[in-house]
Amino acid sequence: MPITKLLEKNAQLYGNEVALVEINPTVMEHSRVTWKEYSLIEANPLEPGRQEITWTEFDKKANRFANLLLSRGIKKGDKVSILLMNCLEWLPIYFGILKAGAIAVPLNYRYTADEIKYCVELSESDALVFGPEFIGRVEEICDSMPKVREMFYVGANCPTFADSYDYYVKFMRSIAPEVEITDDDFAAIYFSSGTTGFPKAILHRHRSLMHSAKVEQAHHKQGRDDVFLCIPPLYHTGAKMHWFGSLISGSRAVLLKGIKPEWILRAVSEEECTIVWLLVPWAQDILDAIDRGEIKLENYKTDQWRLMHIGAQPVPPSLIKRWKTKFPNHDYDTNYGLSESIGPGCVHLGIENIHKVGAIGKAGYGWEVKIVDSGGLPVERGKVGELAVKGDGVMTCYYNDQKATDEVLKDGWLLTGDMAREDEDGFIYLVDRAKDVIISGGENLYPVQIEDYLRANPKISDVAVIGLPDQRLGEIAAAIIKLKEGETATEDEIMEFCKDLPRYKRPRKIIFADVPRNPTGKIEKPLLRKIYCGESVVAKQNEIV
């Protein structure tokens, strides 16, 4: 069954109930009333602080956009790129594309004009939907993308080179178009994070999307009374597929446009959120704010908050142990996945396995996993190899890139590029990305292990370990360390802290600096290598990848 049928079912069964809430806390940051009260008293139509739509409104918006696309000659199998910040229109636009039988192509909001052009052209997009934050970037390239025959602008003051989504969509019928869609039809193209060079276009069928919804509900038991707080960007499979748990259960979700700890806690409290997906830095920031006394938990309503889960990156066990001291009644889950496996859930820890914090878990609902050597053969339990996954959520291909597809798809198995090992109980631990492994004096060093160790230092806020060229050893491990606010430390102090590590695993160089992360929380190690290693090292590594 195509994923669009879930939206139609919710509109039929729960039509008058709220489906989505959008909160822009910067507008209401200093309000003395609740955000909901503020939206009623001081609503600004050009910059609303809080908005909501029902399931019926959601479905009708999707139908209108689908009919608008069809009226402009966008047909089944055509591609429509989405370049929007998280907003109330994002998901109705996405579903409108699907209902038209077209293929949705979400774009990273951090892309430069050249990157937008590259991804639009790689995906062979026929239309582009964009918001006010991107006018300048789109204007730079709008005349150099001849295949893009339609541009829709979402927001006030539409630029002259696009058509107003808000104006034209209101004239369209709110009834679903008669376009036949099956599980085998193509549904979406997502882009890899670009941490290995230019992004790859990842093609998924409707079957993949529905599978991800089933996986999410199977893992986190979403029911009608749950409220999901969605903070990460919707262009990313992680945020979208976690929200699919709300879609399949017909429950409410809150889109929070900001990551300040007090905003997250206030959203949980005022919107009565029960499930929150955080990235490692955000969880760290919340705990630090509590420790500094900037947040007092007794000022927030959190009894209903039942689940905090993390994904998109390795999770330091020390962080979760610390979290449980502040939120002892929370269930916790780690979710592992990648865009090629339609986001999170191909491996997950499971809320019943808190004693295995540090592991990413076991095969998720409807998934198979194995760890293989360079020849594709399974390794012995306890040995390090590459993680491979298989299931209905595996991508169809890298669009227009058969060579790259053949490198990672083997007899239905997806090679993830992540090095992992399995313990005696069958739980899988990430060791590192294959491309991030440091070979120092013939020894393999796995940066994630060193990073986890360093994060236990109470002065350290964030850390990234990369390899630096060394004439004698080939590479040495360097730790880029971001200290917590108000803390100071010396290189000797950090080296002393590392004395319990085996000598060959200790970082040889300490650099106190910021640790850049992308919007999904992953450390931008290519950028760090470019800064500290030089262009030649980065070029060589990209050749290897």
- Among 220-224, 266-270, 456-460, which is the least confidently predicted range? 456-460
Whether residue 104 is predicted with pLDDT greater than 70 in this model: the reply is yes
In whole angstroms, what is the distance from residue 397 CA to residue 201 CA?
A: 8
For residue range 354-373, list pLDDT tens digits in order: 889 889 999 999 999 999 99
Whether residue 381 is predicted with pLDDT greater than 70 in this model: the reply is yes
In Å, what is the CA distance from 386 to each residue of 36, 381, 389? 48, 12, 10
SS3 of residue 412 by DSSP: coil
Whether residue 541 is predicted with pLDDT greater than 50 in this model: the reply is no
> Mean pLDDT throughout 165-173?
96
Short-list 289, 233, 232, 291, CA closest to 266: 289
For residue range 253-265, list pLDDT tens digits in order: 999 999 999 999 9
For the domain bounded by 437-544, which CATH number is listed? 3.30.300.30
Buried b or exposed e, range 487-496, using 16+ CB within 10 angstroms:
eebeeeebee
> Mean pLDDT throughout 180-194?
90
Residue 88 has phi, psi (to 5 degrees) of -70, -20
> Mean pLDDT throughout 455-469?
90
For residue range 485-538, list pLDDT tens digits in order: 889 999 999 999 998 887 878 899 999 999 988 766 778 887 888 888 864 433
pLDDT bin (cut points 50, 70, 90) of residue 43 is low
DSSP for 102-155 reads -EEEE--TT--HHHHHHHHHHTT-SEEEE-GGGHHHHHHHGGG-TT--EEEE-S
For residue range 202-213, list pLDDT tens digits in order: 999 999 999 999
In whole angstroms, what is the distance from residue 497 CA to residue 491 CA?
A: 10
Which amino acid is it at 487? E
Residue 42: what pLDDT? 66
What is the value of pTM for the model shown? Answer: 0.84
Residue 432: what pLDDT? 66
- Among 2-11, 79-88, 364-373, 436-445, which is the least confidently predicted range? 436-445
Residue 537: what pLDDT? 39
Short-list 129, 12, 461, CA closest to 281: 461
Short-list 171, 158, 148, 167, CA closest to 63: 171
- Among 110-114, 174-178, 186-190, 518-522, which is the least confidently predicted range? 518-522
Angle between helices 237-249 and 206-220 (to 10 degrees): 70
Whether residue 174 is predicted with pLDDT greater than 90 in this model: the reply is yes
Show the tokens assigned to 64.
């209108």
For residue range 288-345, list pLDDT tens digits in order: 999 999 999 999 999 999 999 987 666 778 888 899 999 999 999 988 898 999 988 9
CB under 8 A, 24+ apart: contacts of 287-296: 287/319, 287/322, 287/323, 287/326, 288/261, 288/461, 288/484, 288/485, 289/261, 289/262, 290/261, 290/326, 292/485, 294/261, 294/262, 295/261, 295/262, 295/265
Q: In what helix (H) or strand (E) does residue 260 lie, and over which residues does it extend?
A: none
Show the tokens assigned to 505.
């695993």
CATH 3.40.50.300 fits 4-275, yes or no: no
Domain range list for the chain: 4-275, 437-544
**Is 83 within 8 Å of 134 (Cβ atoms)?**
yes
Neighbours of 184 (CB within 10 A): 10
> What are the start-end ranges of the H helices in 22-80?
25-28, 35-41, 55-71
**Is 187 within 8 Å of 208 (Cβ atoms)?**
yes
- Among 43-57, 63-77, 103-117, which is the least confidently predicted range? 43-57
In whole angstroms, what is the distance from residue 373 CA to residue 379 CA?
A: 6
